[in-house]
Amino acid sequence: MDTNSVEKVRQTLYDRLLRFNLTPEQLEDKSLFQLVNLVYLFAGHLNYLGCFTTTCRTMEEILGEQGFYSRIEKPEHIVREENEPKPKQVVH
């Protein structure tokens, strides 16, 4: 699927989420999967959304797994393991 389709879906989700006083900066690094989760979190109780599982599965089939789940990684979101020694387990 071309990136134009992914961007159209992203823009539609942005438009819906911006109505809930979220800022574009809060949404810019999120994957489509995360944006769909936010839409369901904020508007799911209004009974005009389809089934969550069916929606996610359909979008994944149309846009591809990479297009649906990928997101822009920021340095502050990456978890790095430190090379610190693990504490020894104490048996009482």
16 in Cβ contact with 39 (< 8 Å): yes
CA torsion through residues 12, 27, 38, 36, sign: positive
Classify burial at 38, counting beta carbons within 10 Å of its beta carbon; exposed 0-12, middle 13-18, buried 19 or more: middle
- What residue has token string 């389709």? 5
Whether 79 has a pLDDT exceeding 70, the answer reads: no
Over range 55-62, report the average pLDDT. Answer: 86
Structure tokens at 37: 């989760």
Structure tokens at 67: 């297009």
Q: What pLDDT score does 45 carry? A: 63
16 in Cβ contact with 43 (< 8 Å): yes
Query: 64-79: buried (b, 16+ CB within 10 Å) or exposed (e) per residue?
Result: eeebbeeeeeeeeeee
Over range 22-49, report the average pLDDT. Answer: 82
Over range 28-51, report the average pLDDT. Answer: 80
